[in-house]
Structure 1
């Protein structure tokens, strides 16, 4: 959820409660202009403490929830990195490669795509899904880092 979506929810709650922007602003210790920009999606940034104050006034919380569209990051990542190649990596194959640190030569381009092009939230969740007590996420991240260094990938986060 981004700040504009949160602003829409805040506006909906405020209107439903019969409050003016001025009321919410005063109760949260902010300006009416800030509340207006938040509700209209034009506010670029708002710190956690200020946003929390606004949400508490309206009885909202900052509970984190999993995005509904991402049920298996391993499956999403495997499908994504296989699109441009004849050989297809399955979620199970990707999981095994991540845990073992072994990248068969025919799948190295796929794994480079994972390191360079796959959205980082998908990679992070795929790593978490692949991890086991015997092969924790820290070890898998080390495998990714070694591959990135060996293959000189463009994304510098590794």
Structure 2
């Protein structure tokens, strides 16, 4: 997974680097997320980081947390409240009642939406990205996420 090469122009590479730094992601972490989102997309790293493909600017603010919570709820009767999703991401603990919703979010929802929701949460609650990325790994491990398997270990490598 880490050997995947993205065919980026210098402008795209500069935008990706700036965006990853703003999100406090290493190149390896960003590459992991891009490949997890779509291993066959040569511009996947641009998309997963929430950059507009044509302008290379971050996508305009939207209610990303609400959108992620609604997306996680599509297959279920109950709707995951966005404040519960925010709490799980902020604390790194799964609320058992919402376990299936969170599993769906981690394995089926576009990762760009999840990343934008995490960015929104960081900005709204003034939480460090490093905490939220670690919490994402804890949630992925608790839900046995296939798509994000190995994220927590990758994050731990970055810490050392």
Give the TM-score, by structure 1 length: 0.55
Among 125, 128, 133, which residue is 1:136 paired with? 128
Structure 1 CA distance for aligned equivalents of residues 139 and 92 of structure 2: 8
Q: Distance in 2 between matches of 1:128 and 1:100?
A: 15
Question: What are the ranges of 5 or more consecutive residues in structure 1 without an aligned counterpart?
Answer: 1-44, 50-61
Q: Deviations for 1:74-114, whole angstroms, at most 9, x for unmatched residues?
A: 11101100111122112222112211223211101111111
Whether the 8 Å CA contact 2:93–2:138 is kept in 1: the answer is no
Measure how far apart 1:150 and its partner are.
Answer: 2.6
C-alpha spacing 1:157/1:63, structure 2 compared with 1 (3 Å): farther
Counterpart of 1:147 (choices 139, 145, 152) is 139
The answer to which structure, 1 or 2, has the higher relative contact order (CA under 8 A, 6+ apart) is 2
Structure 2 partner of 1:47:
9
Question: RMSD of aligned C-alpha atoms?
Answer: 3.0
Is the Cα contact below 8 Å between 1:98 and 1:140 reproduced in 2?
yes
Match of 1:57 in 2: none
The aligned length equals 104
1:48-127 aligned at under 5 Å gives the runs 48=10, 64-67=56-59, 71-127=62-118
Residue 7 of structure 1 aligns with which residue? none
Is residue 96–residue 130 contact of structure 1 (8 Å, CA) maintained in 2? no
